[in-house]
Amino acid sequence: MSNSTVMDSKTAWGGNNVSPYGASYGKLMMWFFLISDALTFTGFLSAYGFYRHYYSSIWPSAENVFTHFPFMHGNHPLLYVALMTFILIMSSVTMVLAVEAGHRMDKKGVTLWLGLTLIGGAIFLGSQAWEWYHFIHGTELGAIELGKGYFTLPDGTVESTKGIIARWTDESKQALLLPWKDGADYITITGAQLNEFITNGKEIHGANLTHNEYGHPLFGDFFFFITGFHGTHVFSGVVINFIVFVNVIMGTYQKRGHYEMVEKVGLYWHFVDLVWVFVFTFFYLI
Amino acid sequence: MEHSHDHHTPEPYKYAVHHSEEEGKKTRRVIWNMFWVLLGITTVEVTLGLIWKNIGISWGVVKMTFIILTIAKAYYIVAYYMHLKHEVKALKNTIIVPFVLFALYLLYHIITEGVYSGMMEKWLY
């Protein structure tokens, strides 16, 4: 860090050009915004943790929900979301390389790395749309959402069946699995009781804000809210990066004598990656 | 605006730092090292998520491992990619202290109120 551009009096904020933070106004405000945004996500994820724990017996496991991979058949739990995580980390790397190129006033370098960051962000958004499509669409087999009523477990506990999701054991649709266990295995329903459950219940495919084929509807709600809120951040990040990218090509920052704007949008972009690291762990892994 | 650098005038703050080709090389090495660290941690997480049932570790241990690895990943992103490690102390504290305090406050409420969640079922519905 050899030489630096001294701030002009218009962008400095009093105090005789001295900042106790050693940062410009814009950079500091970006940091403050990120703190408040981080707390919003902390709130989302804590609430998610609460309900996940509260309904732990009937909460779906993400590895049973997100099993698709483009152009591949069969079951690939975690694989696609791992790829998405890799893409976002990669775009964070290209972003920080763009910032580094900016410090050397290397316009070509900034253009290249920021361009790659844009592509990474766009691929991530596409992947998220694809993931949402599969979650909303659900499986062909579907599941039965049970109607009003009560079910007595082998140990004598009485459970309300309203809204409980029962999965088919296989494609023949001859037996339903309840989310409650008898010993180590889930309780299986067949025969007359099965028909009764089907008549009282409702066949559902996929998920929306009120129904969820894979388990508790709150799982769907949190999925849509958390990944949706994060996706909105990625989207606005891509838009902001694009605006800065155009400015880089036009030479705006070269004329200004520094690429601090790339640093500021870089902070935002890394934050988006940071949030995804937490979403990945708490939503998909735990 | 030019400054005279006598002992009574503090340094004007560094704005839009520039660095040389060699310094750039060093910075890039750090960036790529951090990339391998982040990729490595993610690979460990995904592998553990897929195989933990087959190698006989308890879910509690796996869960704690995930959380620790995630916080490690967050540290590397914030410290190196967001450059917070090399900012002045005042800035570091201004960013980290309020966030950690509020995050702990949220977690405290989730955990303490969570104790009553069993009663929610009995008394509310």
* Contact flag B67-A281 (C-beta cutoff 8 Å): yes
For residues A130 and A147, state if they share a domain: no
Q: What does the pLDDT read at residue B1?
A: 43
For residues A170 and A54, state if they share a domain: no
Encode pLDDT of A193-231 as tens digits. 888 888 888 999 999 999 999 888 899 999 999 999 999
For residues A40 and A157, state if they share a domain: no
For residues A35 and A128, state if they share a domain: yes
Encode pLDDT of A121-179 as tens digits. 999 999 999 999 999 998 888 899 988 888 888 888 888 888 888 888 888 888 888 88
- Quick one: which H or E segment has residue A177? strand A176-182
For residues A238 and A255, state if they share a domain: yes
For strand A165-168 and strand A143-145, is the pairing parallel, antiparallel, or unpaired? antiparallel
The number of domains in chain A is: 2
State which of A174, A204, A234 marks the end of a domain: A204
The Cα B113–Cα B119 span in angstroms is: 11
For residues A134 and A236, state if they share a domain: yes
Give me B8's structure tokens. 């009574």
The Cα A85–Cα A80 span in angstroms is: 9
Q: Of the candidates B19, B38, B120, which has its C-beta nearest A103's C-beta?
A: B19
Q: What does the pLDDT read at residue B6?
A: 45
* Contact flag A23-B13 (C-beta cutoff 8 Å): yes
- State the distance between the two ends of chain B, measured CA to CA, in whole angstroms: 70
B31: amino acid identity, one letter:
I
A100 is a domain residue: yes
Beta bridge partners of A181: A186
For residues A86 and A193, state if they share a domain: no
Encode pLDDT of B52-109 as tens digits. 889 989 999 999 999 999 999 999 999 999 999 988 898 999 999 999 999 999 989 8
Q: What does the pLDDT read at residue A224?
A: 96
All structural domains of chain B with their residue ranges: 15-86, 88-125
**CATH number of the domain to which A71 belongs:** 1.20.120.80
For residues A107 and A173, state if they share a domain: no
Tell me the pLDDT of chain A averaged across its residues. 88
Q: What does the pLDDT read at residue B122?
A: 62
Burial A228-259 (b: 16+ CB within 10 A, else e): eebbebbbebbeebbebbebbeeeebbeeebb
For residues A56 and A194, state if they share a domain: no
**A86 to chain B: which residues are within 8 Å by CB?**
39, 42
A54 is a domain residue: yes
Non-local (6+) Cβ contacts of B10 within 8 A are A16, A18
* Contact flag A7-B15 (C-beta cutoff 8 Å): yes
* Structural domain containing residue A115: 23-138+214-285
For residues A36 and A151, state if they share a domain: no
A108 is a domain residue: yes
A10 is a domain residue: no
CA of B109: which chain A residue's CA is closest? A46
The Cα A28–Cα A40 span in angstroms is: 19
A68 is a domain residue: yes
